[in-house]
Amino acid sequence: MPVDQHSDPFDASQTDPFEDRLSAALHQAGGTFDTNRAALAAAGAARGRRLRLQRRAAVLGGAASVALAAVGGALLVPWGGSAPPSRATAVGAAPKPSASPSAPADPVSAQQMIETLKKLMPKGTFSQEAGRGTEQDSSRQIAAPYASVVFDDGKGPGAVSLSVSRVQPGTQEAQEASRCPDKVFVPYDACTTKRLDDGSVITVLQGYEYPDRRVDTKLWRAELLTPKGEQVSVMEWNAAGEKDSPISRPEPPLDPEQLTRLASAQEWRTVAAAVPEPPRETPNPGSQTPKLDVHARATLLQLLPEGLDVVGKSSGDDSGFAYAVVDDGKGKSLVQVNVQPNMLDVAGELFGSGSETLSDGTRVAVHQGPGEKSAAGSVMWTVDTMRPDGRRVVISAFNSGTQRDAATRPTPALTIAQLREMALSTHWFRAQGTN
């Protein structure tokens, strides 16, 4: 899960890093509502909503992680800094304001980051070096340290980037960092997750720069998360640039074992020690967002019309997001739902002219248009609803089994009327005893 260039190699939905990366993820995933993408992206990014419709597309199964997922745009780290800008814009990029005033260890310079990366790489030549350290800027803010190089081991140049950050252990972001993505949203050749001897979890993904494979640039990623919340993210390509560079070698320069060794090197723990811990959330009791006790997957499967064969579904039971791949005998069709509380402040952006207000105050908007631009013949139908108290249910259906694939049937397997009936069902909120 971008801007014209992966100017920032370190990105899933995601406020925490994923949520802040959401607007960029929307652009790549193409997973919002066709006629309302700009409004939804703006609303989601501003509010830090976890719009999980797009999350799986932007993430290595999840967000912070490999999610860095190449959605482009800066990885906004928990303390307010940002990960590396592109090689073209890396020098002089201003970090975002930080919520943490100082680092707990001596700073690490940009040159130290670059030299450490080069030291840990195999033998070869380096060019196009860029980096950022943990030094504070003039306002005493600290941004995420990173290093990037173009590396050539004699088999052709390949871009390699590495970033170090921190997350709070046990949080949703940390959990996301240790999962492989769902292939319904992210195409890849291989993905493994394993626990190292020190308790760290590392996920290595062998995927592609472009989800639709319009150019076969390979993007391989490694995401390491330690028990202390130290996070090391590595990305590499089989080209000298993330985008618009010719493929220069069959595979990226580091194989999965080398990626694992690079990401788990102890030198990065020293760097992480100079990065402030993300502030723990202390919500204001008077402004807490209500939490919906909704089991999205179970409810979605329950509400699907009869006559559909469920050939795929989301794993786990995420309270806010679920999908199912259905087939009515005419081809696969992806159906996905997102359930969100307290969205009244963006209602004006989501429900404009052409939307409907029911007698109970529920607002309904219908969108029919193309899906992912690069997917030939792709169609996306969406019914977006919002109750008077701000509870939102939005359901979309596609005329293929994924968001990125070319159409496998003329229209989605569900009609607009069926999507509307599902979105307006009281079952989404039955656990609260309200309609």
Residues 196 and 331 in one domain: no
Residues 354 and 408 in one domain: yes
User: Is 6 inside any structural domain?
Assistant: no
- How far is C-alpha 238 from the geometric centre of its chain's CA atoms? 22
pLDDT tens for the 435 residues of the chain, in order: 322 333 333 333 333 333 333 333 333 333 333 333 323 332 333 333 333 333 333 332 222 222 222 222 223 333 333 444 433 333 333 333 334 444 457 889 999 999 999 999 999 999 999 999 987 655 555 568 999 999 999 999 999 999 999 988 877 777 777 788 888 888 899 999 999 999 999 999 999 998 777 888 999 999 999 999 999 999 999 999 877 789 999 999 999 999 999 999 999 999 998 888 877 755 555 444 445 556 889 999 999 999 999 999 988 656 688 999 999 999 999 999 999 989 999 999 999 889 999 999 999 999 998 876 657 788 999 999 999 999 999 999 999 998 888 899 999 999 999 999 999 999 998 644 444
User: Is 398 inside any structural domain?
Assistant: yes
Residues 262 and 302 in one domain: no
User: Is 282 inside any structural domain?
Assistant: no
* Residue whose structure tokens are 């952006």: 349
**CA 416 to CA 432: how far, in whole Å?**
27
Q: How far is CA 186 from CA 68, 95, 129, 248, 367, in A?
A: 13, 29, 29, 24, 24
**Region at 101 (left for phi over 0; alpha for psi -120 to 50; beta for the rest):** alpha
**CA 20 to CA 57: how far, in whole Å?**
15
- Helices within 242-313 (DSSP H only): 256-263, 267-273, 296-303
**CA 303 to CA 128: how far, in whole Å?**
54
Residues 79 and 187 in one domain: yes
Backbone angles phi, psi at 147, to 5 degrees: -145, 145
Residues 148 and 248 in one domain: yes
Would you say 223 and 177 are in contact if contact means Cβ atoms under 8 Å apart?
Answer: yes
Would you say 1 and 23 are in contact if contact means Cβ atoms under 8 Å apart?
Answer: no
Residues 244 and 304 in one domain: no
Residues 365 and 426 in one domain: yes
Q: What is the pLDDT of residue 380?
A: 94
Q: What is the pLDDT of residue 372?
A: 66
Residues 266 and 309 in one domain: no
**CA 396 to CA 384: how far, in whole Å?**
8
**pTM exceeds 0.95 for this model:** no
User: Is 205 inside any structural domain?
Assistant: yes
Q: What is the pLDDT of residue 404?
A: 80
Beta-strand ranges (E) seen in 240-387 are 309-313, 321-327, 332-340, 356-357, 363-370, 379-386
Q: Kindly report the CATH number assigned to the domain that includes residue 327.
A: 3.40.1000
Residue 32 belongs to domain spanning: 17-273
Domain boundary among 273, 308, 335: 273
User: Is 278 inside any structural domain?
Assistant: no
Q: What is the pLDDT of residue 3?
A: 28
Residues 92 and 228 in one domain: yes
Residues 268 and 302 in one domain: no
Domain boundary among 209, 239, 273: 273
Residues 41 and 180 in one domain: yes
Domain boundary among 273, 301, 336: 273
Residues in contact with 64: Cβ distance below 8 Å, sequence separation at least 6, in sequence order: 12, 14, 16, 17, 18, 75, 165, 167, 173, 174, 176, 177, 223, 231
Backbone angles phi, psi at 17, to 5 degrees: -55, -40
User: Is 321 inside any structural domain?
Assistant: yes
Would you say 75 and 83 are in contact if contact means Cβ atoms under 8 Å apart?
Answer: yes
| Strand duo 363-370 + 379-386: pairing | antiparallel
User: Is 376 inside any structural domain?
Assistant: yes
Q: How many domains does the chain have?
A: 2
Residues 236 and 152 in one domain: yes
User: Is 8 inside any structural domain?
Assistant: no
